Amino acid sequence: MTNGAGIITTLIHETENGAIDRAVEKIFDSELVALPTETVYGLAADALNDVAVKKIYHAKGRPSHNPLICHVSNNAMAQRYVRVTPLAKLLMDSFWPGPLTIVLPQIPENGIAPTVSAGLETLAVRCPAANTTREIISKLDRPIAAPSANISGKLSPTTAQDVLNDFDGKIPLIIDGGATKVGIESTIVAVHDNQIKLLRPGMVTADDIVHATSVPVRDYEGTQIVAPGQLQSHYAPNAAVLLNQENTGEHFFIGFGDTTGDLNLSPNGDLAEAAHNLFQHLRSADKHTEGSIALASIPNSGIGIAINDRLKRASAPRDESST
Ligand code: TXA
Ligand code: MG
């Protein structure tokens, strides 16, 4: 597990003796470590260390204008770095630890490496539900910057093996926490002036947020790119992706509900199960076909909105500004 650069990539299971301490040590040493979260695997570096954070952009081939999410172990850690308004606190209390990222104004001179937020005055903060990763952050007593652990523009990783496929010989350590539960990236909201804007749909839906806060959730309507995840091409497999298809037998077919096909996201029509399987099925399809991948239509409600968001990007013309 080495390459010309001489980095040996070690993969250890989260339950192995010393796994957490090894991750903490590497991150303290300005190294990158891939960690499990409940959504997708993250490529983590010490968020206070500019040299380490730059390694993330380099390893992923990520455009430097695309900011990273800062992962914290609890609300109190977030409060050291961002201004937590009562509305933001209500969101944290309602959904953390869990798959909700909140974009908030940074406290000036908070020590966060400027490259984390790509120079923005805001910072995206998230407290992951995965215990191992929260424990690592807790032991470090500082946040970790972590984008999804995939080469920029490729599918997000939901297993340690996916990470190894992209980063073998490029990072020293991968912590294996098994297949991720949620399977798609966190919901991202920006909280500003007592308003909530949805920047990226995910498992926590707009309805969930309205229910918890009684504040309406707006879609981002400006022309400026606030979350580059909103760019057209993103989360793309190699093969072309066709949406809302019937199974004609011509393409590799991924069904949903009561459809026959090469694979099925959820034979019972369960959207959470479909999200869990989405990237893994796209990866398998990519392996098994030289042609196109066709997908059944997915209901555009609840988590289906996040699934369709990812599928729309997977089927869009490819660009270079992805995460
Ligand atoms: O579930 C997740 O969120 C995973 C796991 C590892 O936590 N992370 C993840 O990171 O999906 P990434 O880098 O692949 O996507 C982060 C998104 C990007 O679209 C980025 O533009 C946006 O968050 N973002 C980060 N900081 C931001 C900010 N200050 N304002 C607006 N958008 C921001
Ligand atoms: Mg990503």
- pLDDT tens-digit profile, the chain (323 residues): 544 557 999 999 999 999 999 999 999 999 999 999 999 999 999 999 999 999 999 999 999 999 999 999 999 999 999 999 999 999 999 999 999 999 999 999 999 999 999 999 999 999 999 999 999 999 999 999 999 999 998 999 999 999 999 999 999 999 999 999 999 999 999 999 899 999 999 999 999 999 999 999 998 654 444 555 555 556 678 889 999 999 999 999 999 999 889 999 999 999 999 999 999 999 999 999 989 999 999 999 999 999 999 999 889 876 544 45
Helix axes 271-288, 304-315, angle to 10 degrees: 20
pLDDT at 237: 82
Q: Is the CB of 228 under 6 A from ligand 1?
A: yes
Q: Which candidate, 224, 219, 215, 218, places its Cα nearest to that of 85? A: 215
pLDDT value at residue 323: 54
Burial of 151 (0-12, 13-18, 19+ CB in 10 A): middle
Least distant ligand from the CA of 57? 1
In terms of Cβ atoms closer than 10 Å to its own Cβ (0-12, 13-18, 19+), residue 200 is buried
Which CATH superfamily groups domain 241-314? Answer: Threonylcarbamoyl-AMP synthase, C-terminal domain (3.40.50.11030)
- Could you tell me the distance, in angstroms and rounded to a whole number, from the CA of residue 97 to the centre of ligand 1? 16
The 8-class DSSP code of residue 246 comes to -
* Virtual torsion, Cα 283, 288, 292, 293, nearest 10 deg: -50
Q: Give the domain ranges of the chain.
A: 10-219, 241-314
Measured from the CB, is residue 68 less than 6 Å from ligand 1? Answer: yes
CATH topology of domain 10-219: DHBP synthase (3.90.870)
State the pLDDT at residue 221. 53
Residue with tokens 């988590």: 303
CA of 59 to the centre of ligand 2 (A): 13
CA-closest residue to ligand 1 atom 10: 147
Q: Say how far apart CA 26 and CA 41 lie, in whole Å.
A: 17
Name the residue of 73, 106, 188 whose CB sits within 8 Å of the most ligand 1 atoms, as the mutation to test its pocket.
188
Buried b vs exposed e over 92-128: b needs ≥16 C-beta within 10 Å?
beebbbbbbbbbbbbeeeeebbebbbeeeebbbbbbb
**What pLDDT score was predicted for residue 223?**
45
Nearest to 279 by CA among 100, 97, 39: 39
Q: Provide the token pair at 301.
A: 């409600």
pLDDT of 238: 82
From 57, 69, 136, give the residue whose CB has the most ligand 1 atoms within 8 Å, as the site to mutate.
69
Task: Give the model's pLDDT for residue 3.
Answer: 47
Probe target for ligand 1 pocket from 32, 57, 101, with the most ligand atoms within 8 Å of CB: 101
Largest CA distance in the chain: 58
**What integer pLDDT is reported at residue 225 of this predicted model?**
45
Cis omega (within 30 of 0) on the bond before 97? yes
Integer Cα distance of 73 and 130 in angstroms: 10
